[in-house]
Amino acid sequence: MTGNETTQVKIKSRILTPSVDGLGPLEVTTIANQVEKKIDEIEKKTQIPDTSKLALMAAFEFATELYNLRQRSETSKEADSRKIDELVEKLESSLDKQLF
């Protein structure tokens, strides 16, 4: 995929034509399906008929999920960095013992 492709998708009977850099029609359609599924799950759970409110609730759930993923990623990066530092120290210590 190159440039800004647009793909027409349907979410809750509304037609959207999003343009997303780096994503092709298949990815955009997959995301639209995830959004519709999330809205359907919330609608079933809450019985709220207002699609605008359902869309906001779905957006909030996706934002919460993204936030949690970022937090886990940051924690994982910090743990990886500590482990690398420990390995470097061990390697340096081993080299010092062998050289001197």
Which amino acid appears at position 20 of this protein?
V
- The pTM of this model reads 0.69
Q: What is the mean pLDDT of residues 28-41?
A: 96
Residue 6 has pLDDT above 50, yes or no: yes
Query: 2 lies in a domain?
Result: no
pLDDT tier for residue 28 given thresholds of 50, 70 and 90 = very high
Residue 1's pLDDT is what? 45
For 15, phi then psi, to 5°, come to -90, 130
Domain that holds residue 95: 9-99
Q: Residue 53: inside a domain, yes or no?
A: yes
Q: Is residue 3 part of a domain?
A: no
- Residue 2 above 60 pLDDT? no
In a domain, residue 81? The reply is yes
Is 4 inside any structural domain? no
- Residues across the chain: 100
DSSP letter string, 12-65? TTEEE--B-TT--HHHHHHHHHHHHHHHHHHHHHH----HHHHHHHHHHHHHHH
Contact 12, 39 (CB under 8 A): yes
Q: How confident is the model at residue 3 (pLDDT cuts 50, 70, 90)?
A: low
Q: pLDDT, tens digit, for every residue of 40-96?
A: 999 999 999 999 999 999 999 999 999 999 999 988 888 888 889 888 888 888 887
Please state the rounded mean pLDDT for residues 6-30. Answer: 93
Residue 16 lies in a domain: yes
When divided into structural domains, the chain yields a total of 1
Residue at 1 is within a domain: no
- Indicate the residue type of 72: R
